[in-house]
Structure 1
């Protein structure tokens, strides 16, 4: 069991951290995962990779934690604040260091849906829920599209500055 822990603990922790966004909780759930695995190792049939089996146990441990604490899966306030600061930083950087013409050139290079989300977020200052509602998609879709658009714009800006 010790070798199993040494081999897969990092993988399980990373998986749990990605869904909890809380290192302490992910560590606690990692310990719970291996405890449960030790109790049920005789049920492992080898039909999937050991890491997949452990992550399934980890997911169930996360769901039990949610039910126990009556939480819903969501980002922590710290993660949201960090994300908003990063957005504002990019927005401020783009709006203040580049002229509007360059900004519109970067926006124009994006696909139509991404460009629309970027316009609504940057100029309309709408929430992701409002953007999702406007374009007929989910809030999560709007967040992901905006994030990917920021990445493309940041990459485009650095390429623009190199030329």
Structure 2
């Protein structure tokens, strides 16, 4: 077994990218990556070698993300009136709104996909993971990840008409 330092150097980027793909928050992803490796140090004796180490670490990361979600449910919600959001200089609010609408439309289409395809699409688009890494995370082959991603893109380009027929 590698030392924890080697383990971190080898797998930290993969874990971080995986977390970023599901959180869309760089700071939170970094924090959860650290938490993942702390948890891995405590439980490394439980690793049975039935999967790749990176897959095991991503499972720990996913559980850390779920814990974070549960913690946030318990925090009080701040009203929008209490927030002051300054506009950065040089930004074009109209372009930002259009860009956000395009993103929303894309995420609405992604949301219509089946769970496995949706996960592959998120990991590839948001996490910028390779197909081999995606295959490892979801317990499938690299080729399966490629085909699933391709079919997901095809469904999204055909539009909602296909989903209404399913």
Give the structure-1-normalised TM-score.
0.49
Question: Which structure is higher in helix share?
Answer: 1
Instruction: State the structure with bigger RCO (CA 8 A, min sep 6), 1 or 2.
Output: 2
- Structure 1 or 2, whichever has the larger Rg, is 1
Normalised by the length of structure 2, the TM-score is 0.48
